A and B are shown apart, each in its own frame.
Chain A
Amino acid sequence: MDQVLLYVLTAAALFGIGVYGLLVQTHLLRRILAVNVIGNAVFLLLIAWAVRDGQPPDPVPHAMVLTGIVIAVSATAFALALLRRYHRDTGCVSLEGREDEGG
């Protein structure tokens, strides 16, 4: 099978898994991880499409992904810090107010 197609299909599957996780899971840690899975799907897609037949790959998507990773790390760090504070103050791990179950 065409290599690019394989990567694109993988990215599509990851994107689907991420969106499903974000919508269905209620534990906030899982939701934050789901956002990261979606982000990685988009990054994979950008890298896969940077291929050019017989030529060195297009550098622009690589630069975009590097920047995107920095943003994803910062956003995740902030989300985790916010979640810790929320958990400490309320004892909840979900937006619906579910109590932490032995976590």
Chain B
Amino acid sequence: MTGAVWAIFWPLLVALADYLFHGRGRGAWLAIGAAGTVVSLVVLTGAVVADGVLVHPLGGWAAPLGIELYADGLALLMLWLTAVVMLAVVPYALAWFGDQARARYYWPMWWLLWSSLNGLFLSADLFNLYVMLELVTLAAVPMVALAGKAEALRASLLYLLFALLGSLAWLLGVALLYAGAGTLHLHGLPALAGEPYAALAAGLMTAGLFAKAALFPLHAWLPPAHGNAPAPVSAILSALVVKAAVYLVLRVWLWGFPDLLGPLAGQVLGVIGGAAMVLGSIWAFRQTRLKQVIAYSTVAQLGYLLLIFPLAASFAAWQGVVYHGLAHGVAKAALFLAAGNIMIVVGHDRLAEMRELGSVLAPSLFAFGLAAVSLMGLPPAGGFVAKWLLVQGALEGGQWFWALLVMASGLLAAAYLFRVMRIFVRHAAAPGEGARGAHRLGPALNLPPLLLALAAVGLGLGAEPLLDLLSIAEGGP
């Protein structure tokens, strides 16, 4: 239980330290911060695996006045996904920002983001979740603006407006729920079906989260923001930040008000997810810039996570959805980091003008290919296990339509990824060629995308123990 507290406060303290010391001794702070946070997560994981679901009132103050931390198997998986992606980005971001003035702002924001993501995954209090959502936004938007170009500033303003409106819609929903049900506890909400305020509150909260998560049809801010951000920031944003909001959509519906989730609401949410999968893939196929392809791919991949709603009766589908979140997280971070390396060497990310992809890019292109294998859902990658479980869940319930959609969407992903990789293959220089210019990618830039892509493939081999964690839960699917 101290693990849960320190997983939030340790990165927060390090964020302050890094800022106050003007980045002096950053390496030491990084080592101390990362070690402390990982140890907290290990302690927390040990406690949850041993004793089951863990509830910890902060400072000994019980709800409703106090705030309770809550950890179950799903929260653990998300915390570890966050830790893996955040840590993999560290060497890359150190090399990317170097000693520029921007590094002074990047690292405190990075620590604050880790702290608030951990806080979000560990909260079960609706108001505390509002605070955490805002903290995540206020850490993520400045990181987009760090790119400094006019396009990036425009994108971050658009992102900020969407996110602020989203969190206020969430807060209005929370106010309605508190006035009606008299509790802020996500797991303590009474049966809400038939209450006049319940559907309105649920709708407001869901719409707010859709805006934060860039779920279709509120995705307009995501491609410019993720496309214009610096590469290490795009990786974190696409892998973790939008997923945190989707995680809350799942939490709120499956834990908060499962009785509101009738067949109609489930099918409607599923259709929205399906539309995101198809339209997002088509948009990704039509983009002319590499990072925009990857950003639209995020819009499409987030749609999968909504498929749990029509398939909620099946535990296999639930496992598939969660596993898809994990596999997409590491694969998408790898894609963005690899794209960042391509931009360093080529100087831009316009697909039509990609020429002379020198042999220095070989590790990055290999990482791109491996991550693409997982996104398409080819065996043995993590994405394959996720799709397999989803198809199994759909067929169990006799809803073959969703199974077809999952398979078709895999083909669409293959279409836009092969379109990009065809350009890579056609314009790859022979070994030794195209190495002119001073561009040398060190291991700090080459290894992170490679490791993340290997993790995406490796997830397919070690699925069993991770999926077993999901059975540590109270309520839910």
A74 close to B (CB within 8 Å):
yes
B103 close to A (CB within 8 Å):
no
Chain A residue contacts of B141, Cβ below 8 A: 78, 82
Chain B residue contacts of A22, Cβ below 8 A: 161, 165
How many inter-chain residue pairs (CB < 8 Å) link A and B? 75
Complex partner residue of B138 from A32, A61, A68, A78, CB under 8 angstroms: A78
**Among B134, B168, B179, which residue has the most Cβ atoms of chain A within 10 A?**
B168
Q: Which of B46-54, B170-178, B253-261, B267-275 contacts A (4 or more CB under 8 A)?
A: B170-178
Docked Cα-Cα span, A59 to B61, in Å, equals 15
Q: How far is the CB of B324 from chain A (nearest CB, A)?
A: 32
Given contacts A35-B164, A60-B65, contact A86 B154 (CB under 8 A): yes
B250 close to A (CB within 8 Å):
no
Docked Cα-Cα span, A32 to B163, in Å, equals 12
Complex partner residue of A31 from B130, B137, B153, B161, CB under 8 angstroms: B161
B131 close to A (CB within 8 Å):
yes
Known: A67-B131, A78-B160. 20 other contacts (CB 8 A): A22-B165, A35-B164, A38-B168, A45-B175, A59-B65, A61-B175, A63-B65, A67-B127, A68-B130, A71-B131, A75-B137, A75-B138, A75-B164, A78-B141, A78-B142, A82-B153, A82-B156, A89-B153, A90-B150, A95-B158
User: Can you sample 16 A-B contacts with CB below 8 Å?
Assistant: A32-B161, A35-B165, A45-B175, A49-B179, A67-B127, A74-B138, A75-B160, A75-B164, A79-B157, A82-B142, A82-B156, A85-B145, A85-B153, A90-B150, A90-B153, A95-B158
B contact set with A: CB distance below 8 Å: 64-65, 127, 130-131, 134, 137-138, 141-142, 145, 150, 153-154, 156-158, 160-161, 164-165, 168, 171-172, 175, 178-179, 184
A contact set with B: CB distance below 8 Å: 15, 19, 22, 28, 31-32, 35, 38-39, 42, 45-46, 49, 59-61, 63-64, 67-68, 71, 74-75, 78-79, 82-83, 85-86, 89-90, 95
